[in-house]
Structure 1
Amino acid sequence: MGPFLGILLFIGIIILFLFIFTVKQQTAVIIERFGKFNSVRNPGLQFKIPVVDKIAGKMSLKIQQLDVVVETKTKDDVFVRLKVSVQYQVIKTQVYDAFYKLDNPFTQITSFVFDVVRAEVPKLRLDDVFEKKDDIAIAVKGELQEAMNSYGYEIIKTLVTDIDPDEQVKHAMNRINAAEREKLAAQYEGDAARILIVEKARAEAESKRLQGQGIADQRREIAKGLLESVDVLNGAGITSQEASALIVVTQHYDTLQSIGEKSGSKLVLLPNSPTAASEMLNTMVTSFTAAHQLNEHQIQKEEETQKRRKSRDDDKDDSSFKFPTLD
């Protein structure tokens, strides 16, 4: 009896395994009975009748991705290769349609992608293809969604992941891009140089203005000091001419002292005799007096000329007057 029980136990285990099967997560199993669709089994422990029921196939319910490369021509006659990534998934409630209605979903999706891309891209120029790649992806998704829903597939997302123009076109675009960047760089460098020149000129102008203002203030203060010195000397009984001579001589020797204090100075002040200051003053006074006399003489001469002209005009008016005659 022992061997017989062992055989029965072995046969029972085999029959049990023929009755029982498991379905993995995110998977659907299609069961056919005598070659005809029976049911869709979900993940977990499942039972079937041996010989009568058969596992016809399995469908993955995970999101899958298909990359499609399409070569087409743009509106400006440039050949370009687009890589379109399509993410799709079997609809859980339409596993029957996905298994029985469509034999090869990859071929079907590829055909629709080719059709949409070759309909949209020829309407656009090459630059517009790069800018409107999202619009192309939306158009592909809309067309696929409408077509694949009836086959039990849902289009999750479509992306245009690569746009590859012809090699010669890429080189030309790179040269244009480099030329534009060089032009922009030259423009920026020119603007910077112009700004530097303008700012330097403004700084120099401001420096000259401040320097002139400082010299004017300095001379104004010197003039005030000289005026005060003359007033003090006049109060001491010294005439204005003597006071001016004294001030000029004092400034002359102050200048000589300041030059002598600087080591290595090569400046020579001429004239440099003891009487140089008074001689300069006498020369200046004589020049001013001569100029003043010349100006007065010129004014006198103009006044005499106007008087003579007026006298001639008066004589002319008197000679033109005639007494009326009696006929």
Structure 2
Amino acid sequence: MNEGQLSLLGSATVRDRVVVSDAFELLGTLPDESVDLVVTDPPYESLQLHRARGTTTRLTTNWFQTVPNARLPELFAAVHRVLRRDRHFYLFCDEATADVIKQQQGIGEERLPNGARRAKAGFVYWKEIVWAKTTLDGSKIRGGTGYHYRAASERILFFEKGKRALSDLGIPDVLLAPRSSVPGPAVKPNAVVRTLILQSTVPGELVVDPFAGTGVVGVEARAHERRFLLGDIDLAWLDPSLAGVAPPGVARTFRSEVDPSEPPDLEVLAEAPPEVRDAAEAAGWLDAGAPTPELHELLRIRPVEREAALRRSLRAPPSPEEPQLLQSWRAWALLGGRIS
């Protein structure tokens, strides 16, 4: 990636792109006032607190590097620079990170006549939008992590540069949606991302997510005729539908000649047939028939939440030198979907 390649993204003739890039470096290559919307979910520092305390098993596998709180002002300055006038910025975060951002940005009690509050980076801050996490059928709120009133929601901080009316003023500030079933860390639901994009852009405008993850921002931008630029240092979980605009060899867009097969229950590996144990040993899960620390780490994760971590553990192209069964497991891990 170079600055010349990305400098064209402000042009309406340039369409969609996915790049492997550090978020700060990606934003640094973009021209001033060249972007119409930023929607992103940085891997915030408070996740390390959950890892250290063990309050959420889904994060014990160290899926991704976190962004230190000290760099968040740099992120805000970069986003403000690349956004055009009269545009919006949405940032997903937890309660702890929201508090840090408000303190860093000097967002206090004083409000403007319209009710918004000024932020140091140059934005005005409107409010926290709440993503309330429901059961799959949407019938009730589904509790999450924590000990005191388990977390069942996530914050979306809503910032504005200049003044731009939302597309639909009737949308509430609580968005109901189940957690995404797409494999990957901290995946945001399509319905929530779709609402943000439709509220703050029109067809043809450019949407950027520098912490792209699975690329849900790009999926929804494309579906609604917006252009997009996605970046991440690890595109292992990128949605396969974005393969055509991603660098070659991205893991979830990988196609193997080996037939994929899902690994067996990890709890019974030690008692599994010999060919399964051989594959498990080659994968690093068993050593002389005994569970390894890597397997113990996977077993700490609740089975219902284990799939993404299991795929991460197996993420490598199948090698002819490995047992055939392990090659099939790796093909499953890279496929990005369940075997029907």
Give the TM bin, normalised by the shorter chain: under 0.3
Structure with a larger share of its residues in helix: 1
**What's the TM-score once normalised by structure 2's chain length?**
0.20
**What's the TM-score once normalised by structure 1's chain length?**
0.20
Higher-RCO chain (CA-CA 8 Å, sequence separation at least 6): 2
